[in-house]
A and B are shown apart, each in its own frame.
Chain A
Amino acid sequence: MANTKTAAPGAQVYSFKPINVGRWFIWGGYAILMLAAPQIWTSSLSLTMLSQIGIAIIGCLAFNMLLGQGGMLSFGHAVYSGLGSYFAIHAVNLATAGTVAIPISLVPLIAGIFGALFAVLLGYVTTKKAGTPFAMITLGVGELVAAMALMFPLFFGGEGGITGNRVVGEPFFGISYGPGIQLYYLIAIYTIICTALMYAFTRTPLGRMLNAVRDNPERVEFIGYNTQYVRYFAFIASGFFMGISGGLAALNFEIVTSEVVSAVRSGAYLLFTFLGGAIFFFGPIIGAILLVLSLVLLSELTQAWLLYLGLVFTFMVMFAPGGISSLIMMNLRVASFGKLRPLMGSYLALAGTAATALLGASVMIEMVYHLQLNEALGPNMKFLGATLNTQGFDSWFGACMVLGVGIVLFEISRRLFVKEWGSVQEDIEKEIKRRGASL
């Protein structure tokens, strides 16, 4: 798929605009879906996940303000959501102690303000550089804050972290935030509002100049703008929303440990935002959903979930750097020209061969993990209903064969697909020209 691209990934795609008529429909639908979700998925596990999804959506969208809109890759962005979490939990504890009367509903906002404050503080130094040095600086600053977290136990709570109780004082109109469902609705409201605000940002002068800085930072200076200020202000805005995300997380889990400012968490934002897609606004939303699904469900399914994630991520960077959202948009564009059906066959072939290769690989990976960790359970392992002897040659040989065959067939179908995709794109180009000429 990547071979047909010209200057940059998805070059042909950006000119495709989905029907604008549906704008209210889309936003309304988004809001309704968020609010109605707990009624559709009613288990308590679902509720936990939905809450986390809301929190992650704000976080990933805020991260993408820098990555997708500004071209700034940050390896230490969890600092701002993490610090927001800490200030939030302290605010909750202050409210519980009666020192300051802070309504719980406003705690995420306070967290956001502190997130922005630290972005003001640290962002000036961070945005002095761009590109790769910027990324390294964010890594360093992230490590600085993470190291400090263990040094000042009064604020950061040391190894155990800080706990709090979000049920404070008398219920307000029956809302005490004790039950998870009540907190979910708070999260949902914040998510809807923050999504709208961040989308609005993309349509402001600062938002657009941020895009200009992404595309050509040097030229921006020659049209009257201080590139560093554009980046700095966007950094602060991003920090604000990261803080809100962190504040909601603190309310949700009622405990904040130093993990919230760790490099691991920063890496997670990066990985999943990229996976969802940095180019389109809704990409990080997809990324956020994947983040929670992976962390909660996938990690239960297999020991090797991080390995699979790493593989998917790496292949995405190589073959689909626009992420899942760009894949969706490209196919929507193809569909709008009525050319999707011929590709279905190729897609099925790709999916089938990829699944075969994946099957072979995962059998081997699971067998290795079984040998390492579950020795006490004996050599036999259950996988997808079948029993495999991890010490037997046949299992290994079989898995290898499946993997090998899968890879070979995948490569063949991939090349065929690339050809077909190329010809479809050509047909579309011709169609566009034809339509343009008849105007």
Chain B
Amino acid sequence: MSTATTDLKATAVSRRSDGSGTAPALELRRVVKRFGKTEIIRGVDLAVQAGENVAVIGPNGAGKSTLFNLISGRFGVSSGEILLHGEKLNGLTPYEINRKGLARSFQVSNLFTRLSVFENLRCAVLWSKGYKYSFWNFLADARDANDRATEVMEMIRLHKRKDVLAMNLTYAEQRALEIGITIAGGADVILLDEPTAGMSRSETSRFVELIRAITTGKTLLTVEHDMGVVFGLATKIAVLVYGEVIAFDTPEKVRADERVKEAYLGSMLADQQAARAGH
């Protein structure tokens, strides 16, 4: 069977034994990323335990998307190590990393535009079900892949739009499909890059419910700007400022942290309160 499901089993075991003594699901050690002469990520240390739900926040330009790109293999690190369940990811290609059980979504929906909702999800499932580059099976007979795709489709509540092409979906539907593709393969470490970007308030709260439902039992890392989402969804918050993690703790502790308030949180909260008062 595929590596993704074996990893799922491994993390399930470690979670049952309350996670102590096993490797973190995702660990970053002294990760540095330079583009030319500019250092974007300047030494990040982070350890995310299995099952944790971490929100990564920080001002624009702090390097949050770059961090995700490093973890998922889109870019290579300049120095430092990234470990998934204790295994080094340095130098691996995105697909190799994905096969080890890590999946990510994109801030700008990155869908298969001319395929239907169902096809999009099914493609996301194929490798994890072991079909690889097969041209000797028919997709129609791939019951496990089809069932999983249908399951995910219902989870993200797009089953009524099964045959609609991805490019003809509404924005919120596309964001839902984006997440669907990310989790369909059964990865147990999920990275979501600004999942609620561009959504209205009501759409956001519905979406957060969706995310919570479909990522139960998984290790989740989310980049978010909406503080309401962050405080509602996360078990821990990592604050990234100028390429460094200045705080990594529970929401209450982070909210109280002076450095965070100074660097980021305070002004943001104030802005948001002012904006809400203005309505």
Contact = CB atoms under 8 A, between A and B. Distances in A.
A273 to B, nearest CB: 18
B230 interface: no
Interface string A215-237: 11011111111110110010001
A118 interface: no
A11 B167 contact: yes
Which 6 residue pairs spanning A and B have beta carbons closest together? A224-B127, A221-B94, A205-B131, A215-B112, A206-B135, A224-B98
Contact of A8 (B114, B126, B132): B114
Interface of A: 6-8, 11-12, 14-15, 17, 200-201, 203-209, 211-212, 214-216, 218-227, 229-230, 233, 237
B122 A208 contact: yes
Nearest to B72: A222
B127 A222 contact: no
Contact of A211 (B93, B104, B115, B140): B115
B168 A11 contact: yes
B115 A203 contact: no
B133 A215 contact: no
A205 B142 contact: yes
A216 B115 CA distance: 10
Contacts of B99: 224
Contacts of A207: 135
B128 interface: yes
Contact of A204 (B72, B94, B128, B135): B135
B115 A215 contact: yes
Given A205-B135, A237-B135, A15 B168 contact: yes
B48 interface: no
A173 B119 CA distance: 48
A28 B126 CA distance: 32
Contacts of B95: 220-227
A208 B127 contact: no
Given A219-B111, A223-B126, A225-B127, 17 more contacts: A11-B165, A15-B116, A15-B168, A201-B135, A203-B138, A203-B140, A204-B134, A205-B126, A205-B135, A205-B137, A208-B123, A211-B114, A218-B110, A219-B106, A222-B72, A223-B181, A223-B184
B107 to A, nearest CB: 13
Contacts of B94: 221-222
Interface string B149-170: 0000000000000011101100
A238 to B, nearest CB: 12
A15 B165 contact: yes
B252 to A, nearest CB: 34
Given A222-B98, A224-B98, A14 B133 contact: no
Contacts of B185: 223-224
Contacts of B126: 205, 208-209, 223-225
A212 B121 CA distance: 11
A14 B116 CA distance: 9
B136 interface: yes
A206 B133 contact: yes
Contacts of B139: 203-205, 208
A6 B122 CA distance: 26
B110 A219 contact: yes
B70 interface: no
Contacts of A216: 110-113
A219 B166 CA distance: 14
Contact of B133 (A17, A218, A230): A230
Contacts of B54: none
Contacts of B112: 211-212, 215-216, 219
Contacts of A7: 113, 167
